[in-house]
Chain A
Amino acid sequence: MIVSELKPLPATLDYLDGEQNIFILGCRGCAEASKTGGEAQVLEMKQVLEGAGKRVVGHTVADFLCDKALVKMKLYAHEQEVLAADSLLVMTCGLGVQATAAVVDRPVHPATNTINLGGSRGEWRGSERCLECGDCLLDYTGGICPLTACTKSLINGPCGGARDGRCEFEPDVRPCGWQLIYERLKKTGRLDEMKTLLPPKDYAKMQPPPSLRSTILWALEQKEPREAGLPR
């Protein structure tokens, strides 16, 4: 399961600055289990946004936002609302945000930071990947992750190594992540986001938080033998 936590509200409201009509998209998968993007949290967020003077033009919860086909199908039923929205606030992991960005021509904003897989891996198909870095940057990068889409994980723009839009590392396989980000930002009229000067990344946030390490399994492995006086 992919564990996520809600970003601090000021950060989320900051992302939505200048936008009035918002569509909220949640996820019935890991986000619901993380209590960051289930039905309840989406409705809560709706209230919060309306309290902050925004208009929530629609909201829904998809089964698995990491699956682009499911996202597209789900949003199809809400087409008019999505078209009426200035942007989508996506309450799920980095994969879900990227999958959503890939299927709608609207700016998407991440409402959460993806912290860790919590020890298990699911199965998803797609080019979107998430490093669970704990400090989601997808708002600045058009919903394409610079940590996974750029071979060098550059967060401030392209290196000089790309050729014809392909990455210097594996040109046959990889497009330049920043070329994709540039194109997406341009297409959604948000190229100014690319000028955001991001400070060095806090890689300490990539470590799983202690709360995730204290699972029953962990406790059994670490504590029980010691307490029972068994050799470890």
Chain B
Amino acid sequence: MSLAEALKNGKLVVTAEIAPPKGVNVQEMLENAELIKGKVDAANVTDQQSSVMRLGSLAGCHLLKQKGLEPVFQVTCRDRNRLALQSDLLSAYSLGITNVLCITGDYVSLGDHPSAKPVFDLDSVSLLQAAKALEQGKDLAGKELKGSPKFFLGAVVSPGAEPLEPQIIKMEKKVRAGAQFFQTQGVYEPAKFEKFIRASQYLGVPILAGIIPLRSVAMARFMNRAVAGVHVPEEMIQELDRATDKPAKSIEIAARLIREVRQLCQGVHIMAIGWEKRVPAILEAAGLA
């Protein structure tokens, strides 16, 4: 069943994130894909996440699809202008990749090539508009296409942002521009997430809550310091710190978060960031496998 069908059928949808390697050895990526195959509805392949140069998302999606896993093609506006972005969207469709997640992208200074020239020719909203234009048989210059693609378009939102209102305004613009589903930034405070869900309910689009397993206390503190819109409560950090078996506690916390947010939204999106191997255990602990 495709991601679009799964969401339409009202099933609690599970997606997970897979990072392509920095290099051409795709073995580990494919092993991770094998581990979650059949357990998730789709897998996102990240697009040079945090501005770190890696194997491309499009190639990663193609490889996952060959393995029988439904891919979500993440596309950021940071590295490509409107010609390259539209071209990649056409390429994706020609390879049977139809789920596209449209993102602005982190600034280049955060990654491993801070001297790069950032592009940002389009923004996440106009990237969605571009995808819609392609679906309607025209490119952004208004030129006719020889055969038009059909996508299932997604976007991201930061439910923990403060203030929340500008995020919701932009979310609404994304929906008007063509977004059909949302995956969120990591959620650690279900009460705050519920507030966000209530504020965005009027948009009527499915939302998958972002779940980032806490690999360590240091990671939690780092996210609080450096990752926008993410706040791990101090009690949760303490809980992890006190545990003797930290990986087990981390899985328990992630599973608990999933159980707490699943009633509020249409699914969860697990961003393991290096812990892909533990995704099956998290799903099992959350009662989703």
Contacts and interface: CB of A to CB of B under 8 A. Distances in A.
Interface stretch (B21-29, B39-47, B158-166, B212-220): B158-166
A156 to B, nearest CB: 4
Given A161-B107, A195-B173, A200-B82, A156 B165 contact: no
Contact of B123 (A154, A195, A203): A154
Contact of A199 (B126, B166, B176): B126
B120 A153 contact: yes
B153 interface: no
Interface residues of B, number: 37
A64 interface: no
Contacts of B157: 160
B107 A152 contact: yes
Interface in B109-154: 109-110, 118, 120-126, 129-130, 140
A151 interface: yes
A178 interface: yes
A194 B107 contact: no
- A interface: dominant SS: loop
B180 interface: no
Most buried by B among A160, A169, A170, A179: A160
A157 interface: yes
Nearest to B122: A200
Interface size class of chain A, counting residues whose CB lies under 8 Å from the partner chain: 20 to 34
Interface in A156-177: 156-164, 168-170
A158 B170 contact: yes
B169 A195 contact: yes
B106 A157 contact: no
A20 B48 CA distance: 50
Contacts of A158: 166-167, 170
Interface in B6-29: none
Contacts of A199: 126, 129
A202 to B, nearest CB: 10
A155 interface: yes
A169 B109 contact: yes
Of the listed residues B78, B82, B126, B166, the one surrounded by the most CB atoms of chain A closer than 10 A to its CB is B166
A156 B228 contact: no
A164 B160 CA distance: 12
Given A154-B120, A159-B105, A200-B140, 7 more contacts: A152-B120, A157-B166, A158-B167, A159-B123, A161-B106, A162-B161, A169-B107
